[in-house]
């Protein structure tokens, strides 16, 4: 079996690589496309997920970050900076460490999932918490990063979208063509824009067709759905708690060109999908990712997604990113037992009889 060498090598001809671009990789990309048999049968559709939680830092950000950090290094930057709801920070911290760069991450205080904080800390990033939300943090770093030494690695950096578009290539290769519908959570709106670019480029090169994009925002953080900036976005899905997406216009163009839709899902719907996905399919994704699954369920029920439709939902981040929410919402709690074979045996027999 050939070893996977990462995105920059795998898709070099589709990416802005030069002789000077350093080889950088943590083995990102090549994530599984998994068919969800139980939910497909229950909902009457053909549902796959693209499991981006299998990336090296547990989210899709690694696809864009490997490209952005390689280009920052090539350009002579010594520091990378980003605003983040957590995953961008974790990814920047990892790739920055690998490329021997100073990494500064600016995050909304008290709103970052524990796993993401643990990652940024371990990779050695300088972590700055602000009294404000993601939109405030992004405005700050955008102003401060306009120099040769400091590279901004948020998705307003075009190299981020270049790297992230490779997920669309992989889906076309895994399915043999583009799916009918691509369901995707939307926060800062970079990823949906990157997917559309990827599908178009791959279709141009290999006639794999184009999907309809179905984007999903959390109801309390749904600026594109309502067509207005949300000053105080709120949702349990902290990854997508964003009120003024930087790639708003690009996302609207992608939605229109693909004949797609942008829709919202409530926190209750997100959490129900989060639990259902893990308990029925063995797939654990963080709440922000599950906005896509909640959205598919809602649109199947409303008829917006037709029976038998082929849908790929993007699970953007690993469930382990946010252990606090998982433990809060799960009904399963450990039972305290004495160290006794009889006690365990009695329990097993009783439970089986129920
Ligand atoms: N899903 C997860 C798990 C995310 O972390 C994000 C964004 C999104 C979806 C939305 O993607 O912003 O391209 O529309 N997280 C950013 C961060 C904002 O800082 O980690 P998007």
pLDDT at residue 146 tops 80? no
For the record, the structure tokens of 74 come out as: 């090539």
How far does the centroid of ligand 1 lie from the alpha carbon of residue 188, in Å?
A: 6
CA nearest neighbour of 189 among 215, 163, 162: 215
The token pair that represents 233 in the structure block: 């976005």
Q: How far is the CA of 239 from the centre of ligand 1 (A)?
A: 5
Confidence of residue 352 (pLDDT cuts 50, 70, 90): confident
237 lines ligand 1 (CB under 6 A): no
pLDDT (0 to 100) of residue 47: 98
| 104-109, Cβ contacts within 8 angstroms, sequence gap of 24 or more | 104/79, 104/80, 104/128, 105/81, 106/81, 106/82, 106/130, 106/137, 106/140, 106/141, 107/83, 107/137, 108/132, 108/133, 108/134, 108/136, 108/137, 108/241
pLDDT-wise least confident of 35-44, 242-251, 338-347: 338-347
Which residue owns the Cα nearest ligand 1 atom 5?
239
**CA atoms within a 13 Å half-sphere pointing along the CA-CB vector of 323:** 6
pLDDT in tens, 71-104: 999 999 999 999 999 999 999 999 999 999 999 9
Q: Please, what is the average pLDDT of the chain?
A: 97
Q: Is the CB of 62 under 6 A from ligand 1?
A: no
Q: Which atom of ligand 1 is nearest to the CA of 184?
A: 9
Instruction: Please report the ipTM that was assigned to this predicted complex.
Output: 0.99
Q: What is the pLDDT of residues 40-70, one digit of tens each?
A: 999 999 999 999 999 999 999 999 999 999 9
Both tokens assigned to 91: 């990814």
Q: What tokens appear for 123 in the block?
A: 């990779």
Q: Tell me the pLDDT tens digit for each residue of 254-303.
A: 999 999 999 999 999 999 999 999 999 999 999 999 999 999 999 999 99
How high is the pLDDT of residue 149? 92
* pLDDT over 70, % of the chain: 100
Ligand 1 geometric centre to CA of 209 (Å): 26
CA 258 to chain CA mean position, Å: 20
Pairing of strands 79-83, 102-108: parallel
Any atom of ligand 1 within 6 Å of the Cβ of 193: no
Q: What's the CA gap between 330 and 323, in Å, rounded? A: 11
pLDDT beyond 90 at 351: no
Q: Decide: 155 in ligand 1 pocket, CB within 6 A.
A: yes
């Amino acid at each position: 079996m050939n070893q996977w060498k990462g995105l920059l090598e795998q898709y070099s001809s589709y990416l802005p690589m030069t002789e000077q671009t350093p080889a950088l990789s943590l083995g990102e990309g090549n994530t599984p496309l998994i068919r969800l048999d139980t939910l497909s049968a229950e909902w009457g559709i053909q549902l796959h997920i693209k499991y981006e939680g299998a990336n090296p830092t547990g989210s899709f950000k690694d696809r864009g970050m490997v490209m952005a950090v390689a280009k920052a290094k090539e350009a002579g930057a010594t520091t990378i900076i980003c605003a983040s709801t957590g995953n961008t920070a974790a990814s920047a911290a990892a790739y920055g460490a690998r490329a021997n760069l100073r990494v500064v991450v600016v995050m909304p205080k008290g709103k970052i999932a524990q796993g993401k904080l643990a990652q940024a800390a371990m990779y050695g990033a300088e972590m700055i918490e602000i009294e404000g939300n993601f939109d405030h943090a992004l405005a700050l770093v955008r102003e401060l990063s306009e120099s040769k030494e400091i590279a901004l690695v948020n998705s307003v950096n075009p190299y981020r979208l270049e790297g992230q578009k490779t997920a669309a290539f992989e889906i076309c290769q895994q399915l043999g063509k583009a799916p009918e519908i691509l369901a995707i959570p939307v926060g800062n709106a970079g990823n949906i824009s990157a997917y559309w670019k990827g599908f178009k480029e791959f279709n141009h090169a290999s006639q794999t067709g184009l999907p309809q994009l179905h984007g999903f925002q959390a109801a309390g953080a749904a600026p594109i759905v309502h067509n207005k900036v949300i000053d105080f976005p709120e949702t349990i899905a902290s990854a997508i708690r964003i009120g003024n997406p930087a790639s708003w216009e690009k996302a609207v163009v992608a939605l229109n060109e693909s004949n797609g839709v942008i829709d919202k899902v409530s926190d209750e719907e997100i959490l129900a999908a989060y639990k259902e996905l893990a308990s029925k399919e063995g797939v654990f994704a963080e709440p922000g990712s599950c906005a896509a699954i909640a959205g598919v369920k809602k649109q199947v029920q409303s008829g917006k997604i037709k029976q038998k439709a082929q849908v790929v939902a993007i699970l953007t981040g690993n469930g382990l990113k946010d252990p606090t929410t998982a433990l809060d919402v799960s009904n399963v709690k450990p039972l305290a037992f004495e160290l006794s074979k009889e006690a365990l045996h009695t329990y097993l027999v009783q439970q089986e009889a129920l």
